[in-house]
Amino acid sequence: MEGIAIVGLGMDFRIDDKWSITLESANRIMNADAMDGRISGFKYDIYNYTSAGIAFKFGKSNKVKILKGIVTLRKKITHLKRKHKNINTTNQLNLLRLIYLILHL
């Protein structure tokens, strides 16, 4: 029975909401020396897979609308905070920051 171990790394660099550049590299280690049809002195065959690409996401994205809504809400909260000094808006601002962070993961 032959086994394989895969060790690698992949990255996705977002250009905008729709486009991204992808990079991936992985080493595959076979626990046999017959994969390439040549028996060497080393008991494992190792090969590498590397790729680079461009990805496009189809469909509508609601992120832009949500972010615009967050910016609008933040402006309203800031305006209320200036207008009414006794209103505590810290929790609302923290909630907006949290939503913003979640959308940018």
Q: Is 36 helix (H, G, I), strand (E, B) or coil?
A: coil
- Return the minimum-mean-pLDDT range out of 29-38, 68-77, 84-93: 84-93
How high does pLDDT run on average in the chain?
77
Nearest CA to 30 out of 49, 46, 48, 41 is that of 46
Residue with tokens 């469909």: 59
Over range 8-18, report the average pLDDT. 89
Q: Structure pTM?
A: 0.46
Residue 19 exposure: Cα atoms within 13 Å on the Cβ side: 3
Q: Which residue has the higher pLDDT, 23 or 67?
A: 23
Give the contacts of 24 (CB within 8 A, at least 6 positions apart). 8, 9, 10, 11, 49, 50, 51, 52
pLDDT reading at 34 higher than 70 = no
Residue 73's pLDDT is: 75
pLDDT reading at 99 higher than 70 = no
